Amino acid sequence: MLRLADLRLLLIAVTLFGGAWPVTKAALADATPLWFAVSRTLLGASVAFLLLAATRRLRWPARQDWPAVLGVGFLQLGGFFALSHLAVALVPAGRTAVLANVTIYWLVPMSVLLLGERVSARRWAAAGLGLAGVAALAGPWAVDWSDPDMVLGHGMLLLAALLWSCAIIATRRFPPHQTMLENLPWCFLLGGLVLLPLALLLEPNGGIGPGAYWHAALIGGIVAPVGTWAVIEAGRRLPGAVAAVGFLLAPAIGVIISTIWLGEPVGWDVITGGALIAASVVVATRG
């Protein structure tokens, strides 16, 4: 039985993460991808530390918490952020929002194979509708596959989605003793341990210019801590098929914002894809 509180978490997660990609794309006019990702994790860690310290809930993770903390820190916040932020420099923001959030490719079969989860016929149908919506939004027929940067960017996004799916499986297979909100600052620090060396190595002359300061503050100060917590909890609490389909709302939101704010084109593919994804979420939550 799905709980309304868990569905609210899902809605918070997809709204914040869907809107993050157009903001990130705009920030790259005055910032380099990996240094922007570093700012996202370190600001997120700072906000989480201050929040927990102010509420006297800051504590070291318990032994039972470490599989989830390591999974989220290294895979979701480190690997996912590194790959997706590098990809957004190569791929349009709307397309990045679509493919980076397509955990449905990986999460549904992994939930069945690794967690023994049973997926109803209706939720398999919802997954199919969702994938059809993704195909419409991504529009592979409109991509110049002879461009190496496009191929590389798309490959990075699919791998990023796999790492995120693995992090979700880790939090469900090894439920933490403390809440993930209490573990969040340590997750962000581990993500920073992945991203900072990569930024120093691959972008030695990079950084964040004044034009991207407000983007970094918004993404690092609000989207990172609140959105990441909501994503982790929604993925941990909801059935794999429902979470995977629900996360597809993020790309639909990202495409809409990219169209309105960045002027990325809208056509039948965006309308059809959004309708299919909305239908898939309705079917999944009722199945």
Look at the chain and report how many structural domains it folds into. Answer: 1
**Between 212 and 87, the higher pLDDT residue:** 212
Taking the CA of residue 34 as centre, how many other CA atoms within 13 Å lie in the half-sphere pointing to its CB? 19
At residue 235, the pLDDT reads 82
- Degrees to nearest 5, angle at CA 32 with 26 and 35: 115
Mean pLDDT over 12-27 rounds to: 83
In eight-state DSSP terms, residue 63 is G
- Judged against a pLDDT cut of 70, whether residue 95 lies above it is answered with no
Nearest CA to 48 out of 175, 176, 221 is that of: 221
Residue 31 has φ and ψ, to the nearest 5°, of -155, 155
Pairwise CA distance, residues 241 & 42, whole Å: 31
Phi, psi at residue 266, to the nearest 5°? -120, 140
Measured CA distances, 81 to 33, 159, 187, 191 (Å): 9, 11, 13, 8
Round to whole Å and give the CA distance between 86 and 8: 30
What is the domain range of residue 178?
A: 4-286
The pLDDT of residue 7: 80
Q: Is 91 exposed, middle or buried (0-12, 13-18, 19+ CB in 10 A)?
A: buried
Confidence (pTM): 0.81
CB 43 within 8 A of CB 224: yes
- CA separation for the pair 189, 187 (Å, rounded): 5
Lowest mean pLDDT among 73-77, 128-132, 153-157, 269-273: 269-273
Q: Is 134 helix (H, G, I), strand (E, B) or coil?
A: helix
pLDDT of residue 284: 74
Cα–Cα distance measured from residue 75 to residue 161, given in angstroms and rounded to the nearest whole number: 10
Per-residue model confidence (pLDDT) at position 167? 92
List Cβ neighbours of 82 (8 Å cut-off, separation of 6 or more): 34, 37, 194, 195, 198
Q: What's the residue count for the chain?
A: 287
Q: 172-223 pLDDT, tens per residue?
A: 899 999 988 899 999 999 999 999 999 999 999 999 999 999 999 999 999 9
CB 238 within 8 A of CB 74: no
pLDDT band of 38, cuts 50, 70, 90: very high
In the block, which residue shows the tokens 């990079």?
206
pLDDT band, residue 142 (cuts 50/70/90): low
What is the rounded distance in angstroms from the CA atom of residue 152 to the CA atom of residue 66?
A: 32
